[in-house]
Structure 1
Amino acid sequence: MPNTQITAVFYMVMSMIAYQISASFAKQLFEVLDPLTVVTLRLCFASILIFLMFRSWKIIKRLPYLRWKDLLFYSGSVCLMNVLFYASLGKLPQGIAVGLEFLGPLTLAFLSIKQKSDYIWVCLAIMGIALMIPWQDATAHNFSWLGAAFAIGAGVCWAFYIYFGQKVVRQNIGMHALTIAIVLSAMVMLPVSAVHNPEALLQTQYWKQALMIALLATAIPYALDLMALKQLSKLSYGTLSSLSPAIGAVTGMILLKEHITFYQCIALVCIMAASIGVTFRAKPEPAQ
């Protein structure tokens, strides 16, 4: 396997670790702020962070010459994915919300299969996700079918994010594509939140937590995702995404002393096998 493939997998793993940690922080912040306010603050702080990190003022002169169709679809998928996922986190246990969201990239991976031998890796990942999700929580009082619909909708947006992300990285504007997507998302969400709950936006005592979530959930993972998408196919990216719930479970076991069930142990084996299999058979995505 080429070194570029190994590097791309490393980017994905680091991205998923950051995102899983941020989801826990966001869930805690929901106790004092509504999900729409949290996602708006996250996007606003992330747009500032990313603009400065990547010195994106350099792209301003090139804006009229970009392929805006792909950029707008990419930006829209980023915005809706964030809104729907945070809405689902506000109504569902985190394990179920994360698991249902991953149906999106796994479905895209399934539809992207070109060789029959690849079905085994995607099916293993799907089986692993099914076993990893704490379905017993679905009978609890805090389960919401509306929340489940939000999570699945976020998964659909994630599939579009992967698809258009691969198109965007080929415009040769580097990380500036991410800046454009996050800034546009923040510009859409800010007036919506200002009408929905203007007082919550101005509670500056929570801005520090929102800034941390912006860094862990947007600036770091989305930048790493774009670098990974340069080298990975939709099949590889979608299958490897199933590692995220597994990473969350292992992190919880090590740091929080959370218990992993027998079925979740089997799920970890399935997901790891699928990720290793799809990684070692993968070929770099050809440049266009």
Structure 2
Amino acid sequence: MTTSSTSSTTATAGVGGGAHAGGVAMTPILFILGSCISLQFGAALATQLFPAIGSWGTTALRLGLAAAVLIVIVRPKVHRFTRQQWLGVAAFGVAVGGMNGAFYASIDRIPLGTAVAIEFLGPLVLSALLSTRRTDLLWVLLALGGVSLFGFESLTGAASLDVLGVIFALVAAVFWALYVLASAHVGRIVPGQDGLAVAMLIGALVVLPLGAPGAVAGIAEPRLLLIALGTALLASVLPYTLELSALRRLPRHVFGIMLSLEPVVALFAGVLLLSQEITPLRVAAAVLVVVASAGVTLTARARPAGEPQPIDEAPGWELPTPTHATLTGEMPILTEDDLREDGDASTR
């Protein structure tokens, strides 16, 4: 999403930006931090549903509620979808369901900060695979080194990790990478939010075989349904609003660096909200993942003119930045054109 036009307008403009630090508006940075906190509160709230309806039931209920709301608001014109659009949206929906289900299954078994740090490997590895820069591979190796500290900690007996929980986090990482690609693809071939609305429904159907009993129990119990709605608000609606506002005001590299703080925020959120244990090795692991993610963001600012493009992409294509809300599948990947259109619409 970073282009020279974005950097020149967002880095120098103080519209709604408040105080500046080094030429960067502080208000959108606070928006991103607020989004981080909101997302972690949402994840912590979701864990309160696990004992009653399970992680898969929670996933099915959240995605089902989100899909229902989106379909009512967007009213997708599915009768106009072509075969190519249906295939793209179906792949997007599978990625949404798999990412959500695996992530919630992981935080049901391992600490929140650990799960998020492991999941970050998905987009990091994807960035390295789509790039010919050797530095990107080095950043991924650094992140792998950080994540390996969790395993070292577990092997030494300092703090054991549930193996299945780690596997689910790795599966979520794979689906997050697929989500980035599928969301960007659907955003190009399906107009508006039709693709996202239908993909959310498909995502709910993907996890329904495992989550149906829990989802039904959640719907039947008003208290559980209220918690599910609160989770959707904190983990989806609020991050979407805050991040969209920040993206309109910040250069992509600044936004990406702030996003890279997510594993550390998740680590401390697990301590403060869920009373999860914090250890020096976990802090070191999260910091290494943050440094790797920030490094990928910084080195991606200037793509060499001769760097190969993915086979099915036009010249100049750049992998869009995933936002926090992509973790819950509630927000599509935003491209530079999306932001410009939103900005133009807001000024009319």
**For this structure pair, what is the TM-score category when the shorter chain's length is used for normalisation?**
0.7 to 0.9
Figure out how many residues of one structure are paired with residues of the other and give that number. Answer: 278
* Alignment counterpart, residue 41 of structure 2, candidates 3, 6, 21: 21
Tell me whether 1:185 sits opposite 2:216 in the alignment. Answer: no
> In the alignment, which residue of structure 2 is the partner of 1:82?
100
Aligned to 1:211: 229
1:99 correspondence with 2:117? yes
Counterpart Cα distance in 1 of 2:158 and 2:279: 18
Q: Do structure 1's residue 162 and structure 2's residue 180 form an aligned pair?
A: yes
Shift of 1:161: 0.8
1:63 aligns with 2:81: yes
- Separation in 2, partners of 1:96, 1:269: 11
SS in 2 for 1:114: coil
- What TM-score does the superposition give when structure 2 sets the normalisation length? 0.63
> 1:78 offset after TM fit, Å?
0.7
Are the equivalent residues in 2 in contact too, given 1:81–1:153 (CA < 8 A)? yes
Q: Which deviations, in whole Å up to 9, do the C-alpha atoms of 1:95-124 show, x marking residues without a partner? A: 333333233222222322312233343344
Q: CA deviation at 1:92?
A: 2.3
Shift of 1:43: 0.9
Deviations 1:195-243 (A, max 9, x none): 5774454222111110121233345557969x97xx979xx97x98653
Question: Secondary structure at 1:174's aligned position in 2?
Answer: coil
- Hey, what does 2:325 align to over in structure 1? none
Contact persistence 2:60–2:204 (CA under 8 A) = yes
Give the structure 2 partner of residue 43 of structure 1: 63
Cα distance in structure 1, aligned partners of 2:223 and 2:93: 29
Query: What TM-score, normalized to structure 1?
Result: 0.73
Give distance in 1, aligned partners of 2:193 and 2:225.
Answer: 25
State the AA in 2 paired with 1:34.
G
Partner SS, residue 125 of structure 2: helix
Contact 2:63-2:204 within 8 A present in 1 as well: yes
Give % identity.
Answer: 31
Look up the SS of the partner of 1:67 in the other structure. Answer: helix
More deviation, 10-19/181-190 = 10-19
Q: Could you tell me whether the CA contact under 8 Å between 1:88 and 1:150 is conserved in 2?
A: yes
Q: Is the 8 A contact 2:76 2:198 kept in 1?
A: no
Q: 1:3 offset after TM fit, Å? A: 6.2
Q: CA deviation at 1:68?
A: 1.8
Q: 1:135 to 1:27 in 2, by over 3 A?
A: farther
Cα deviation code 1:46-103 (max 9, x no counterpart):
1233345xx3115445334762222111110110111122222222232333333233
Q: Which residue, 16, 28, 33 being the options, matches 2:53?
A: 33
Task: Give the Cα–Cα distance (whole angstroms) in 2 for the partners of residues 83 and 102 of structure 1.
Answer: 16
CA displacement 1:225-280 (0-9 Å, x = unmatched): 9x97xx979xx97x986532122235567889988655555556544544444333
Q: Distance in 2 between matches of 1:14 and 1:176?
A: 28
CA-based RMSD of the aligned residues comes to 4.2
Given that 2:116 and 2:266 are in contact with CA atoms closer than 8 Å, whether structure 1 keeps it comes out as no
- Runs of at least 5 residues in structure 2 that lack an aligned partner in the other structure: 12-27, 304-315, 319-336, 338-348
Question: 1:119 is aligned with what amino acid?
Answer: L
Partners of 1:119 and 1:73 lie apart in 2 by: 27
Q: Tell me the equivalent position of 2:326.
A: none
Give the whole-Å Cα distance in 2 for the aligned partners of 1:99 and 1:27.
Answer: 18
Mapped contact 2:53–2:214 kept (Cα < 8 A): no
Indicate whether 1:108 and 2:113 are aligned.
Answer: no
Higher helix share: 1
Q: 1:143 to 1:120 in 2, by over 3 A?
A: closer
Secondary structure class of the residue paired with 2:53: coil
- Are the equivalent residues in 1 in contact too, given 2:54–2:214 (CA < 8 A)? no
Q: Radius of gyration: which is bigger?
A: 2
Aligned to 2:265: 247
Residues 117 and 289 of structure 2 are in contact (CA less than 8 Å); yes or no, is this contact kept in structure 1? no
- The match for 2:317 is 286
Gap change, CA 1:280 and 1:100, over 3 Å in 2: closer
